[in-house]
Amino acid sequence: MRKISAEKIKETIESIILEVAFNLPEDVCAALESAHKKEASKLGKSILKDLVDNIKVAKDEKLPLCQDTGFVVIFMEIGQEVQIEGDLHKAINEAVAKAYQEGYLRKSIVSDPIQRKNSGDNTPAIVYTEIVPGDKIKIKLLTKGGGAENCSAIRMFNPTVGAEEIEKFVIETVKNAGPNACPPIIVGIGIGGTFDKAAQIAKKSLFRKIGTHNSKPHIAKMEESLLGKINKTGIGPGGLGGKITALAVNTETFPCHIASLPVAVNIECHSHRHKEVTI
């Protein structure tokens, strides 16, 4: 049994938050640079150049990539041969509070969804844990902005529908989002499971590297089809027209009940701040 202290986890999460707030992952940077080269619209090209320039300024000046510094979402895979010493959830939230204070990051979380009083330290984080084989802990962390999150949707389909109907729903969701999701976007899709599981795997799909596809050929084909159709909507960078509306479509699936077919679409903005670390 390998022992890992909650303090170690706290330090790791704090470090990740402070890194992703100012440094966009390489695959996202490369996708935006590629989009800038491919965009035909003069205005769209200008917007993409601003986004690429913003990445450099944020990194060099240590300024947040976006004023919305996000809701911290963590997927944690815990090896079954690991013993965590200390209070895990307390450590996670202490890490979030410290990072947002030290990094001068905007605190965007309200303690109660009706009373709307700010928690003051961007806590609590949303944490999903999974027990897996091994003696390590894998931490996948995403700081999710509110604008793109608000444009997400879920639908409980009749199980007799096919891929075409699912694609129509995804495209409809993207069109409804328009400029509000800060395109070019990354589209995370979860198909199957239950109402809540579909949404969870849609969000988890956002961690997949841009340019990679689902291992199932028919799902990979759907991803390619959707990316092409989304980029033909004309929404474009910033929602001001163009051929690059989305950088990627990432889809994950899960077995579901014979009477169900849940589909969730979790939209992510161009400021796709995430990182994976293994302890």
Closest listed residue to residue 8, CA positions, set 98, 95, 77, 100? 95
**How far apart, in whole angstroms, are the C-alpha atoms of residue 70 and residue 273?**
9
Tell me the residue length of the chain: 279
Whole-number percent of the chain with pLDDT over 90:
100
Mean pLDDT of 83-89: 97
**How far apart, in whole angstroms, are the C-alpha atoms of residue 53 and residue 161?**
44
User: What tens digit of pLDDT does each residue of 158-193 get?
Assistant: 999 999 999 999 999 999 999 999 999 999 999 999
Mean pLDDT of 216-234: 97
**How far apart, in whole angstroms, are the C-alpha atoms of residue 245 and residue 207?**
19
Structure tokens at 50: 């601003």
pLDDT mean across residues, the chain: 97
- Give the helix, strand, coil percentages of the chain, each rounded to 5: 40, 25, 35
Ordered structural domains, the chain, with CATH = 2-21+64-144 (3.30.360), 146-271 (3.30.1330)
User: What tens digit of pLDDT does each residue of 10-38 get?
Assistant: 999 999 999 999 999 999 999 999 999 99
Predicted model pTM: 0.95
Q: Residue 225: enclosing H or E segment and its boundaries?
A: helix 217-230
Q: Residue 141: enclosing H or E segment and its boundaries?
A: strand 137-144
| DSSP-derived secondary structure letter, 130 | E
Three-class SS string for 70-126?
CEEEEEEEEECCEEEECCHHHHHHHHHHHHHHHCCCCCCCECCCCCCCECCCCCCCE
Residue 276 pLDDT: 97
